[in-house]
Chain A
Amino acid sequence: MASLDIQGVQKSFGATRVLHGIDLAIADGEMIVVVGASGCGKSTLLRIVAGLETPSAGKVLIEGRDVTPLEPADRDIAMVFQTYALYPHMSVFDNMAYGLKIRGLPKAEIAARVQEAADLLSIGQLLQRKPRQLSGGQRQRVAMGRAIVRHPKLFLFDEPLSNLDAKLRVQMRAEIRRLQKRLKVTSLFVTHDQVEAMTLGDRLVVMHEGRAAQVGTPMEVWSRPADTYVASFIGSPAMNLLPATLAEGGAAARLAGGALWRFADGPRAGGEGMAVTLGIRPEHMLPDGAEGLALSVELAEPMGSETVLHGILPDGTALTARVPGVLAAERVTLAPDLAALHVFDAASGRRIDPA
């Protein structure tokens, strides 16, 4: 158990820069999820922390100790790979015991630790099997077990759930969270799945094109996205982003179609007529008899307790709404919950908070 500090880490492969300087401080026992689309640099960041890649600039500190020049073996970390990376020629027991044998632990202690981890993951009956005789979920557990027995300072997870089917993924997700809370090992978890990110992390790092677009707790990231990328990446269905201009001296915004939305939380700085992007989540567009926007529904997806509507506004902008109950109509009038409105600078994409 230890803290992890990532300071100004950059990485280039030839002329391509994949990390533009990442700073991140992770407290002891914290679980941080790095989430982003493929190619955003999240796996590279993880591999730099593991020591499998060398950063072009910057430092990695574990427990305040600069480990940047150290090999993975000298960092006292454990990693769970996307492909599990079990040793195919070793039994489950030997897979888990390998790292301990290398460290020269006594046989009895190795056996005890493996047994303990196996019980924790309920794979005690599989110890003599070879990886090829295991199902995907079981392999996943063995990979976890191999990390756990080591009692490392740091757990690194590289999309460990992406090869599982949907049901198992949900189950393992909960299990990983339970285990991590119980063992209190500092963890860095990389995923492209925003639901996984929201449910697993104490804090999230949303990465975009080699930069940390936002770092914060799941609720912070969800309720106050730092830019339009984070806004559209976190949450499902994705947040609606509507072009608009500031009006009434920054106290409101006028949509392309002419509608005027008044900010509930106070006026924004920036001149009259400044181009902004308004963000409103689908669940915050509520059916409203009178004043709302008229949406021509192109597709209604009934989910049972609610319905997701995809349609276009009169000015041609696409909009998604999530409304309670069953709703089947060709046209609905929707009004925004203005308290849940997000305002972004149209030019930079950055969030604009009330002045």
Chain B
Amino acid sequence: MRKKVIFRGVALPYLLLAPQLVITAIFFFWPAGMAIWQSTLRQDAFGLRTEFVALENFLDLFSDPLYLNAAWNTVLFSSAVAALALGAALFLAVQADKHIRGAGLYKTMLIWPYAVAPALAAVLWLFIFHPSIGLVGRGFAAIGIDWDYRLNGGQAMTMVIVAAAWKQVSYNFIFFLAGLQSIPTSVLEAAAIDGARPMRRFWTVVFPLLSPTAFFLLVVNLVYAFFDTFGIIHALTRGGPGNATETLIYKVYVDGVQNLNLGSSAAQSVILMVIVIALTAVQFRFIERRVHY
């Protein structure tokens, strides 16, 4: 954990650490503490009186159909985004890893969307799916599909999923490609000599050896879908129509910023913190295990 040879000094290391610690304390721990404290309080409608209600905010959430709806949306949205983004990325990475002409160019062309902000990805897809100006949107109308994501909840959900997955494919692609390249060529050659055709080689050798990468990416994708996609939903659907695309993170924002229901918003924040902590813990336990692999 530390070097054997070190510098002496007591004041200096604290000074060096100070900026990071001060910022962490003021902008991370203080607000996190406040969130926990506020989650046990309730204000009246006029913000005049505040009372301590212990876990009541949490209990209310679990019986609130809107919150449960947001939770369900989150599950649906996150699993769809992760499945799509991981599947597409794995497929493309396997293709790009082959010895073909133009592999370098293909890679660059598949990597750049990483740079696109989630909200910007949403806007780009809006240009495509918009019912009156979008290529696909108008195409749907032309073949008789009644397409308007601003009115149809299912269509809205499909669209945010596509935009969110689209943006995440590059990231997964880069990691899958790195994972593929770390598989020793000789192991694949051994499988070829053992008689395994490419498909079989993929499912019995390549895929199992990629599973640590895949699992790591699954966690990352879930975290992304939970939190980073706020911009996509905000820019595209604002949680609508009729809460159809309202996810947990979006609801924290709506309840806190728009409805000014601080107690409930804080309780929701605390629940999200628990989820992140759980996901991170899972990931770290897994990384520890992977070391032996």
Residues of the A chain whose Cβ atoms lie less than 8 Å from the Cβ of B194: 73, 98-99, 102, 146, 150
Residues of the A chain whose Cβ atoms lie less than 8 Å from the Cβ of B190: 79, 81, 85-87, 146
Name A73-93 residues within 8 Å CB distance of B.
73, 77-79, 81-83, 85-89
**A52 and B189: CB pair below 8 A?**
yes
Q: Is the interface of A mostly helix, strand, loop or mixed?
A: loop
Interface band, chain B: 10 to 19
Question: In the complex, what residue of chain B is closest to A50 when comparing beta carbons?
Answer: B193
**B193 and A73: CB pair below 8 A?**
yes
Given A89-B208, A132-B293, do A73 and B195 touch, yes or no (CB 8 Å)? yes
**B293 and A85: CB pair below 8 A?**
no
Q: Which of B53-61, B115-123, B197-205 contacts A (4 or more CB under 8 A)?
A: B197-205
Residues of the A chain whose Cβ atoms lie less than 8 Å from the Cβ of B209: 88-89
Question: In the complex, what residue of chain B is closest to A89 when comparing beta carbons?
Answer: B208
**B193 and A83: CB pair below 8 A?**
no
Give the complex CA separation of A89 and B207 in angstroms: 10
**B197 and A73: CB pair below 8 A?**
yes
Question: In the complex, what residue of chain B is closest to A80 when comparing beta carbons?
Answer: B190
Q: Does B254 contact A (CB under 8 A)?
A: no
Q: Does B84 contact A (CB under 8 A)?
A: no
Q: Does B186 contact A (CB under 8 A)?
A: yes
Q: Does B192 contact A (CB under 8 A)?
A: yes
B212 to chain A, nearest CB (A): 10
Residues of the B chain whose Cβ atoms lie less than 8 Å from the Cβ of A182: none
Residues of the B chain whose Cβ atoms lie less than 8 Å from the Cβ of A72: 189, 192-193
Interface string of B188-227 (1 = CB under 8 A from A): 0111111111001000110011000000000000000000
Name A55-73 residues within 8 Å CB distance of B.
71-73
Residues of the B chain whose Cβ atoms lie less than 8 Å from the Cβ of A102: 194-196, 200
Q: Does A103 contact B (CB under 8 A)?
A: yes
**A87 and B205: CB pair below 8 A?**
yes
Question: In the complex, what residue of chain B is closest to A102 when comparing beta carbons?
Answer: B195
Number of interface residues of A (CB under 8 A): 24
**A79 and B193: CB pair below 8 A?**
yes
B209 to chain A, nearest CB (A): 6
Residues of the B chain whose Cβ atoms lie less than 8 Å from the Cβ of A88: 187, 209, 293
Give the complex CA separation of A51 and B204 in angstroms: 21
CB contact between B193 and one of A78, A86, A87, A132 (< 8 Å): that residue:
A78
A88 to chain B, nearest CB (A): 7
Give the complex CA separation of A150 and B292 in angstroms: 30
A325 to chain B, nearest CB (A): 48
Give the complex CA separation of A78 and B192 in angstroms: 10
Residues of the B chain whose Cβ atoms lie less than 8 Å from the Cβ of A79: 189-190, 193
B131 to chain A, nearest CB (A): 49
A116 to chain B, nearest CB (A): 18
Residues of the B chain whose Cβ atoms lie less than 8 Å from the Cβ of A77: 193
Interface string of B170-197 (1 = CB under 8 A from A): 0000000000000010110111111111
Residues of the A chain whose Cβ atoms lie less than 8 Å from the Cβ of B200: 102
Give the complex CA separation of A127 and B187 in angstroms: 19
Name B80-103 residues within 8 Å CB distance of A.
none
Question: In the complex, what residue of chain A is closest to B212 when comparing beta carbons?
Answer: A89
B193 to chain A, nearest CB (A): 5
Given A98-B204, A132-B292, A132-B293, do A87 and B192 touch, yes or no (CB 8 Å)? no
Question: In the complex, what residue of chain A is closest to B200 when comparing beta carbons?
Answer: A102
Residues of the A chain whose Cβ atoms lie less than 8 Å from the Cβ of B204: 98
Question: In the complex, what residue of chain B is closest to A75 when comparing beta carbons?
Answer: B193
Question: In the complex, what residue of chain A is closest to B194 when comparing beta carbons?
Answer: A99
A149 to chain B, nearest CB (A): 10
Give the complex CA separation of A113 and B246 in angstroms: 60
Give the complex CA separation of A249 and B74 in angstroms: 98
Give the complex CA separation of A100 and B209 in angstroms: 21
Give the complex CA separation of A180 and B96 in angstroms: 41
Residues of the B chain whose Cβ atoms lie less than 8 Å from the Cβ of A71: 192
Give the complex CA separation of A83 and B184 in angstroms: 9
Name B207-252 residues within 8 Å CB distance of A.
208-209
A231 to chain B, nearest CB (A): 34
Residues of the B chain whose Cβ atoms lie less than 8 Å from the Cβ of A81: 186, 189-190
B203 to chain A, nearest CB (A): 12
**B192 and A85: CB pair below 8 A?**
no
Residues of the B chain whose Cβ atoms lie less than 8 Å from the Cβ of A150: 194
Give the complex CA separation of A81 and B204 in angstroms: 20
B24 to chain A, nearest CB (A): 39
| Further 11 A-B residue pairs, CB within 8 A, beyond A72-B193, A98-B204 | A50-B189, A51-B192, A85-B184, A85-B190, A88-B187, A89-B209, A98-B196, A99-B193, A102-B200, A146-B194, A150-B194
Interchain Cβ contacts under 8 Å between A and B, 18 examples: A51-B193, A72-B189, A72-B193, A73-B192, A73-B196, A81-B189, A83-B184, A85-B184, A85-B187, A86-B190, A87-B187, A87-B190, A98-B191, A98-B196, A98-B204, A99-B193, A99-B194, A103-B195
Closest 10 CB pairs of A and B: A99-B194, A85-B186, A85-B190, A73-B195, A89-B208, A102-B195, A72-B193, A81-B186, A72-B192, A85-B187
User: Which residues from chain B sit less than 8 Å from chain A, CB to CB?
Assistant: 184, 186-187, 189-197, 200, 204-205, 208-209, 292-293
